[in-house]
Amino acid sequence: MTWISYKGPPWRYVLIVAASVLVVAVGAAAVILALPSHVADDRLHKAVTAQIAAWSGGAVRLTEDATVISGLGRVITIEDAEFTGSLRGAEWQVSVASIEARVRALALLRGKVEIETLTLQSPQFRVVDPDESMISALRDLPAENPAGPGPEGEVIVTNARFLYEGPTGRRVGFDGVDLRLAAEPDTTGVLLTGAIPAGTGRLHLQGRLDDPAAALTDRGSPARLVLQGAASADDVGTPPPKTRPDVPKAAQENRVVSQLRRIAAAVGFSGIGPVAIEGRVSATPRRFGIADASVSFGALLAEGDLTVAVAGEEPPFDALDSVARGAAAAWHDGATAIAAGAWRDVPVKLDWLAPLDVALAARLRDSRLAGQNVEARRILLRAADGRARLEFAAAGDLGRLRGEIALGAPTTQGAPQVAVNGRLEGIDMGATGRSVLLLAPPPLVSPPQLPEGTLDAQIDLSTQGGTLGEMVMALDGAIDAEARDGSITGSDLILTLEGLADGREFMTERDGPLIPSAGRTQFDTAEGRIDFVAGIARISRFVIRGERYDIEMRGEADLGVGAMRADGQARLHGDLIDDSAPSPIVDLPFGLGGTLAAPVVAAGVPRSGDDLTSEAAADGGIE
């Protein structure tokens, strides 16, 4: 028998091989770590400059006094860097507290310096444009971009500040911007994430631009963006905005803001967003547009086109700054008046909208609002020269709505003007009321019982004024409404009137005052008209008809103080025989007083039986 045996290498050989591999690996790592320190500063400067030039699309120069303070490993740090560049002849400047450049290791081994990630800490982008050469250069960018290498790698900016100084000498800008741009290999596409300031909070964004250079031309670039609001405390790297002592607390959080937050939650989203936008984006100095857009936010889905342009001769950045300042001032003044409990003194300021030229054509589809399906077949907004008109037509579970709102914001003389014209058709009053309750603050007790039925209404109103109080007092026009096959909550009118017909005494020591029977009153039709003139809302027609009753009322309300007064009659008819005219068997007069916020109903002395017959005879009703 022959024995075959295998004799492996001694363990010391295995250890020697392993140690050699480890030494080679450590040596390679050491070489990679040490290579940047042996690269000349001018080569590093050139590499960083080339990276910024590729992303900016223009010539870039790095000042010579920028120093490399760290060259160990793949990260190179440069402090006190300042770049200057030009875009088709327009000059710009970027001052950076520090730059971190992460280089590619394999390129270093080949003797090349290639930037993988460039991080700019607290950069300040400043453009001095006394003759609007920057604006002209951006406006005249070619629609078709020349073929050439696009940006590579990533660029990260933290706590960036932007300043623009145009022909007027006014500095316009904002700070607190965090942004990360990542180029997609072998394409012109760029992925972006970051956050920008939005009031006292932050607006987070993420998305993709297919061609960023084309986005700066009228041609535009396909894009997708997702926006999400958040508090400043959620961000890292950018300090929170400073508090503004000139803004009252009411401007930061009041009943109006709280109500808007509740409405936003009912629609389907909280805070700001998330809002997803997809379409072709174009941003030139005087115009921003998004075409063939699809926008979803919460339970709403919109489609359409939007264009916002800056009109007039004022430089665009100065004009936009005026719009922002005007909006902030209007919000501040309104919040101050509301906080003081003087809603009538809230100023109506619309002149700050004058520099904007807005065109919107959109529709809603497959959307839900407060739990109800809604489709808006037409939403048209046109704003120019300080005037705006909104047209809309919608249909859904609650009914159909169409109309228009016109705004006028004179910049020289005259008060702002508002006109509303619309029609409601087939509105489900019960479902609409329940949806409104979802938007309102929760009641302290059980929710109120709502009227039921189907409503049609025609609205034609106009007003003008410098404050809300002036607008209320100048309200002119009318509202016509008709409801069918519904019911009114609060009392059972037929049961109450039948009790009077059966001899129920009124205002006696035993029976006391008339207290309506609890329940609901069914009606066949309800018609009403309110005319507005000189601060008075006059009920010129109000008639409700049911199976055996009718109600008529006339009255008016002083909109300035909220006081109201009305007189009415409620009649109960006997059973109809054939086609004979209804004959009342009980007539109950009543009065309505108090205020619009707290109305009071007072019943008069009812008439029935012989009293009603003798009165009718005295009036000539019976021969």
Enumerate the domain spans of the chain. Answer: 31-234+268-296+303-316, 402-440+449-618
Name the β-bridge partners of 456: 482
pLDDT value of position 623: 34
Q: d(Cα 247, Cα 135) in Å, to the nearest integer?
A: 33
What are the tokens at 548? 């055996």
Closest CA to 355 of 331, 390, 387, 329: 387
Phi and psi angles of residue 618, each rounded to the nearest 5 degrees, phi first: -65, -30
Q: d(Cα 293, Cα 303) in Å, to the nearest integer?
A: 6
3-state DSSP percent of the chain in helix, strand and coil, to 5? 25, 45, 30
> Which element (helix H / strand E) includes 432?
helix 429-439
Q: d(Cα 612, Cα 549) in Å, to the nearest integer?
A: 15
Q: d(Cα 453, Cα 482) in Å, to the nearest integer?
A: 10
pLDDT value of position 31: 45
pLDDT value of position 250: 43
Alpha helices in 201-342 (DSSP H): 212-215, 249-252, 255-267, 316-339
Phi and psi angles of residue 480, each rounded to the nearest 5 degrees, phi first: -110, 135
Q: d(Cα 418, Cα 432) in Å, to the nearest integer?
A: 25
pLDDT value of position 476: 93
Contact 461, 475 (CB under 8 A): yes
pLDDT value of position 461: 94
pLDDT value of position 246: 47
Burial-class residue 379 by CB neighbours within 10 Å (0-12, 13-18, 19+): middle
pLDDT value of position 132: 75
Q: How many CB atoms lie within 10 A of CB 367?
A: 22
Q: d(Cα 294, Cα 357) in Å, to the nearest integer?
A: 22
Ranges of the chain with pLDDT below 70: 1-43, 45, 56-74, 86-90, 105-113, 137, 139-150, 199-200, 230-273, 370, 410-413, 438-448, 503-513, 576-582, 609-623
SS3 495: helix
Closest CA to 610 of 622, 596, 602, 595: 622
pTM for the model: 0.73
Q: How many CB atoms lie within 10 A of CB 193?
A: 15
pLDDT value of position 349: 80
Q: d(Cα 126, Cα 162) in Å, to the nearest integer?
A: 6
Cis ω on the peptide bond leading into residue 315 (within 30° of 0)? no
Q: How far is CA 20 from CA 25, 31, 222, in A?
A: 9, 16, 54
pLDDT value of position 249: 47
Q: d(Cα 183, Cα 212) in Å, to the nearest integer?
A: 10
